[in-house]
Structure 1
C-alpha cells in the first residue's frame, strides 16, 4: 500500500507542472470546439485551378484533333483514284462515274462539270471543291467565256526525242506543269539520258496516265551516251551515285569484289545474295568489268 501511495506523491513544483499541463489541454480543447479553422478561400482557389486545368486540357485536345485530321492539298480532280476518292469522302458510285468518264479521253474542266459527271453530293462537293486545281489554260477559259481559246489538239504537239525535249515541250502535255517538267529533266540528267521509255514512269509524282500521254509524242529516238564505270576500280561513292543502286547494295558489291579480287564479268553480280535481278539491265548500263 505504501508503494502505491509513493507513486502519487508529488512535490510542489511537480504539482504546479501537472496543473499547467492540464490547463493547456483544456484551452486547446476549447479552442478546437469553438473556432472554425476551415478556409473557404482555399477551397475556392483549388476549384478555380481545376476549372482552369480542364479548360486548358480541352483546348489542347481540340488542337490535337484538328491536327490529326487529314490535310487536303490542291489537286486536279481529273486524276482522282479509287483510294484518293475514298479519302475525300466520295462514294464508290461517284468515283466509278468519274473513272468511266476519264476512260473516254475526256476531262472535267470546272466544278459544275465535275458535279454533273459524278453526281456527287453537295455536302462533299462543297468540302473538296475549294481544293480543285485546273490547268492554267482552263482557268483562263473559264474566267473569259467569250474568248476564242481552243484546247490544244494532238496535231499541235510536235513529236520529239524524249532525250532532247525541253521544259517548254513537256508542259504542252496536259497534267505536266513547270515543277513536273523540271523533275523529268533532272531525272533525265541523273540517268545520263533515257535508255528505256518506261524509265519515265520512275519520275516521282508523275501519274501513269500523264506519262502515257507524254510517250505518245515524245519517244526515244536516239540512245544516250552513258559514261560507264569500271567496277574493279570504281570508288564507293561512284557506284552509290548510280540511280538504281542503294547503300546496302553498294556494300554487297564491294564485299564481293574484295572476295574475288577481280570481277571478270558483270554477270557475276547476279551471284551476290540479295542482288535485284530485275534491275540488272538498268545497273549494267553504268558499269563495265575490265
Structure 2
C-alpha cells in the first residue's frame, strides 16, 4: 500500500502547479474556440510593397515557364525528318515535298528555296527559318551572289565575246583545256580540279566543285553554268563492316576523328545493318552524309 500511496500523494506546491497547468490549458482552448487573437483588420492588397512582391513572383513564373519550353537549335533543313517536321509545324504534304526533292540528290540552299520546294506559309517560314543552318560555303556563296550580281553579269558578257569551243560539257569528262575556257581558271586551277575529281572518283554533286581548294565561288558558278554532271560516275564502294582503318581513312570526307568514331560504333553494334545507321553516331557530320555514303555500303 505504501508503494501506491507514494505515487498518488502530492505536496501542496505540486497541487498548485497542477491547478495552474489545468487553468492554462482551459484558457488556451477558450482562445481557440472564441478566436480571441483574431484580427478583423483588412489588408490592402494594392499596397506598393505587396504589388512589387507579386510582380517579382510573376516574373519568376515567366522565367520558369520559358525554361521548361522545348529549345530549338540550329539545324540543316535538308535533313528534316517526318518527326522533326511535325514538331516544327509542317504538314505531311510539305514534308513529303521536301523528302521527294532530296531523293533527287538536290539540296535547298536558302530559305527561299526551302519555301519554293515545300510551299510552307510565310508565317511558318519566318518562325522556323531563324534556326536554319546551311554549310559555310553555301552561306558565303549566297552572300557573294547578292553582292557581286552586277559584276557577274558584266563578266559573263565579256566571256561571251571571247567564248571558246569545248570538247564536252560533262564536268567529269572535261579536259584541262576545256576548263581553261572559263574566266578565272588557268593551268594551275584546271589541274587542281582534275586532280580533285580523280580523288573523288568523279563528281557526283555540283556542290563538290566548291570544295576545290582556292577556287573562288564566282569562278565555280561560271564553271557550273557551262559544265554539268551529265552522267554520274561509277564509284567503287567498300563494306563498312569489314573495311580496315587505313582504307576507310581514304574516304575524302572522313578524317581521323570520324574514322575512330565509326570504328567505335561498329564495335558497339557488332555490325551495321544499314548504312544509314551512321547517322546514329554522336557528332556525325550530317551535312556530309550523302557524300560519305557514296563510298560505303553495309552488308
TM-score w.r.t. the length of structure 1 is 0.49
Kindly name which structure, 1 or 2, has the bigger radius of gyration based on alpha carbons. 1
TM-score w.r.t. the length of structure 2 is 0.48
